[in-house]
Amino acid sequence: MRALFLVSTVLFWIVVAAAWVSALRPLAPAPSDVSAEPRYVLADIAQHGSVDDCWMAIDGVVYDFTAYLPEHPTSPRVMAAWCGKEASEAYHTKTRGRPHSSYADGLLPAWRVGVLAAEP
């Protein structure tokens, strides 16, 4: 058990450090069709963190869900909690570990307002 603790802890920190080092590398040039879109950082999205002005970032794309909130099938409270935030995990794991349906995926482009840029 001691060995499992030590090995898992060391591996964990090695992977975290590797992710941090990789994030320090300069970004590859974005594809032209994406670079034409407005780019927002998480701080920009955080300024739209209410039910009256609700932006979210999902998988690197920024959406404005303000007009969509009342139409969401579950309680608006569930979705409102993610306004102004990076919500990829919530979108993909919804409940019981299931992602949103392909129908929901199809709805997303209608609310797209830009792409997520890395923090400066």
Distance in angstroms (rounded) separating the CA atoms of residues 82 and 17: 28
Cβ-contact 79, 65 below 8 angstroms: yes
Distance in angstroms (rounded) separating the CA atoms of residues 39 and 60: 10
- Answer yes or no whether residue 32 interacts with other proteins by CB under 8 A: no
- The interface region with other proteins, picked from 31-39, 63-71, 94-102, 103-111 by CB under 8 A, is 94-102
- Answer yes or no whether residue 119 interacts with other proteins by CB under 8 A: yes
**Distance between terminal CA atoms of the chain?**
42
Which tokens sit at 37? 């879109």
Q: Which of 62, 86, 111, 114 touches other proteins by CB under 8 A?
A: 86
Contact positions toward other proteins, by CB under 8 A? 1-2, 4-6, 8-9, 11-12, 15-16, 19-20, 22-23, 25, 27, 42, 59-60, 74, 78, 85-86, 88-90, 92-99, 116, 118-119
